[in-house]
């Protein structure tokens, strides 16, 4: 591990030297984020860890139309570096917290987070091409997100064509999700995402996404759907509206899915849908008080329909924050509603509160669809321009149909889990 990290550093600073010599403008920056978290649950008990993420990045403007960007990332949990106690590097790879019902793993490694070049003003138009390892995020990240909450976050190996005019923009991309030794088993994620910006303070998004995971993919590969004899060729069609009208803000999104899914060698149709609506009203004169409500829904699979799959596939999202903080609820087989409030009592300080209620869209015969609720209290404060603090307390209460704590441990009916974290992020 340390040998690879040394190679990364040598390559990084060599690239920095070369780009500084060739580029007209070079910016060097980075980030250090430390987060301490603790989960106390009825049954599994109390667990916790401290996570650290370090990034160094070089942004080089080679000339007026060519840009290159490199970002190196080290992700680790405290106490897992074998060099500290003299045991070597055997503990550097993963951190595992195990308890009844589940485990959580954190990769401890240095890697190339992003490395791409971008060509702008192609044929003197607002047209750009970006190729290489990159972050992609659209809308509220319900289907495509960088997952920055994670200590590792998410990147895509992709080529993307971008057209960005004053009132209209569109991205077209193809990303390789998983590479195998045979072309027929490669997994790809392709899409087109268009945004209309011609209405002041409002946007309208239309998108088409294609996610392919061949059934012959190798078991245990990075994509969760890549299990032996399982696969999918799912197309997602979506519409998203987002905007403001005076002190009222709103967002609405709807997605339909078709295509095929394969399970144990049998190919069936994919027929699923999901939608999300939310709105809020801000009273600037009352410490910026905002009150709002949200309703989210996504279809689940009916075990009585053997010729099709109806559970919505939420693809590559930033699930955290969207449906609460425990992360056991996602935009699939769910119905959730929330009431939220936030205010800014002093300059820079943001305080928020949420209440979420969860039910399953489909359950087995005789099972309960009540998945309980979650309450969250949040605080964010910029200690200074480059330093941001964040603290959150989460209480997850399981319903008759159960639930899980933040570390994935199962909770029985009415059992409670408290999740607390404090995060400090320094950007330079």
CA gap 33, 264 in Å, rounded? 42
Long-range CB pairs of 221-225 (<8 Å, 24+ gap) are 221/178, 221/180, 221/187, 222/177, 222/178, 223/177, 223/178, 223/187
pLDDT of residue 223: 45
pLDDT of residue 20: 56
Could you list the residue range(s) of the whole structural domain that residue 327 is in?
A: 2-427
| CATH of residue 375 | 2.40.160.100
Q: Which of 353, 335, 380 is nearest to 291 (CA)?
A: 353
Work out whether strand 403-404 and strand 410-411 pair parallel, antiparallel, or are unpaired: antiparallel
Work out whether strand 334-343 and strand 289-298 pair parallel, antiparallel, or are unpaired: antiparallel
Chain-centre distance for alpha carbon 176: 18
Query: Which residue has tokens 């759907």?
Result: 225
Say what the alpha-carbon torsion angle 47, 407, 427, 23 is, to the nearest 10 degrees: 130
Q: Could you tell me which residues are beta bridge partners of residue 134?
A: 156
The pLDDT tens digits along the chain (428 residues) read 444 455 555 555 555 555 555 667 999 999 999 999 999 998 777 899 999 999 999 999 999 999 999 999 999 999 877 666 655 554 445 544 444 334 455 555 788 999 999 999 999 999 999 999 999 999 999 999 999 999 999 999 999 999 999 999 999 999 999 877 655 668 899 999 999 999 999 999 999 999 998 765 444 444 444 444 578 899 999 999 999 999 999 999 999 999 999 876 688 999 999 999 999 999 999 999 999 999 999 999 988 788 899 999 999 999 989 999 999 999 999 999 999 999 999 999 999 999 999 999 999 989 999 999 999 999 999 999 999 999 999 999 999 999 999 999 999 999 999 999 999 999 99
- Reading phi first (left if > 0) and then psi (alpha if -120 to 50, else beta), residue 51 is in beta
Q: Could you tell me which residues are beta bridge partners of residue 241?
A: 204, 252
Q: Which residues contact 224 (CB under 8 A, 6 or more apart)?
A: none
This prediction has a pTM of 0.87
CA gap 409, 396 in Å, rounded? 12
How are the residues of the chain apportioned to helix, strand and coil, as percentages rounded to the nearest 5? 5, 60, 35
Counting the structural domains of the chain, the total is 1
pLDDT of residue 116: 98
Query: Which residue has tokens 């980075």?
Result: 30
Q: Which residues contact 127 (CB under 8 A, 6 or more apart)?
A: 121, 161, 162, 163
Which of helix, strand or coil describes residue 6? helix
Cβ proximity of 275 and 237 under 8 Å:
no
């Amino acid at each position: 591990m340390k040998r690879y990290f040394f190679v990364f550093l040598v390559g990084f600073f060599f690239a920095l030297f070369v780009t500084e010599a060739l580029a007209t403008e070079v910016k060097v920056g980075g980030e250090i984020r430390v987060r301490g978290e603790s989960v106390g649950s009825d049954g599994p008990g109390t667990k916790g860890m401290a996570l650290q993420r370090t990034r160094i990045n070089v942004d080089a403007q080679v000339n007026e139309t060519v840009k290159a960007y490199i970002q190196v990332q080290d992700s680790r949990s405290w106490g897992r570096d074998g060099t500290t106690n003299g045991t070597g590097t055997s503990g550097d790879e993963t951190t595992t917290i195990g308890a009844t019902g589940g485990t959580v793993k954190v990769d401890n490694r240095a890697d190339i987070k992003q490395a791409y070049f971008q060509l702008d003003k192609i044929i003197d138009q607002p047209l750009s091409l970006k190729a290489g390892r990159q972050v992609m995020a659209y809308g509220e990240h319900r289907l495509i997100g960088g997952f920055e909450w994670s200590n590792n976050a998410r990147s895509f190996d992709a080529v993307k064509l971008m057209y960005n005019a004053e009132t209209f923009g569109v991205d077209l991309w193809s990303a390789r999700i998983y590479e195998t030794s045979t072309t027929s088993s490669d997994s790809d994620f392709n899409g087109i995402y268009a945004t209309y910006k011609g209405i002041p303070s409002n946007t309208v998004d239309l998108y088409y996404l294609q996610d392919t995971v061949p059934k012959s993919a190798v078991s245990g590969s990075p994509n969760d759907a890549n299990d032996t004899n399982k696969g999918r060729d799912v197309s997602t069609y979506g519409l998203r509206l987002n905007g403001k009208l005076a002190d009222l803000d709103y967002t609405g999104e709807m997605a339909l899915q078709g295509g095929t899914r394969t399970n144990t060698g049998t190919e069936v149709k994919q027929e699923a849908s999901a939608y999300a609506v939310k709105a809020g009203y801000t009273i600037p004169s009352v410490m910026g008080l905002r009150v709002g409500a949200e309703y989210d829904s996504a279809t689940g699979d009916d075990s009585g329909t053997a010729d099709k799959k109806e559970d919505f596939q939420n693809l590559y999202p930033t699930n955290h924050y969207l449906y609460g903080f425990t992360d056991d609820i996602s935009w699939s087989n769910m119905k959730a509603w929330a009431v939220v409030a936030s205010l800014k009592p002093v300059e820079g300080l943001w305080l928020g509160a949420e209440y979420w209620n969860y039910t399953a869209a489909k359950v087995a015969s005789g099972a309960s669809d009540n998945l309980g609720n979650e309450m969250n209290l949040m605080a964010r404060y910029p200690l200074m321009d480059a330093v941001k603090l964040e603290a959150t307390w989460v209480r997850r209460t399981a319903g008759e149909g159960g639930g899980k704590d933040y570390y994935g441990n199962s909770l029985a009916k009415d059992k409670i889990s408290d999740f607390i974290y404090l995060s400090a992020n320094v950007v330079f």
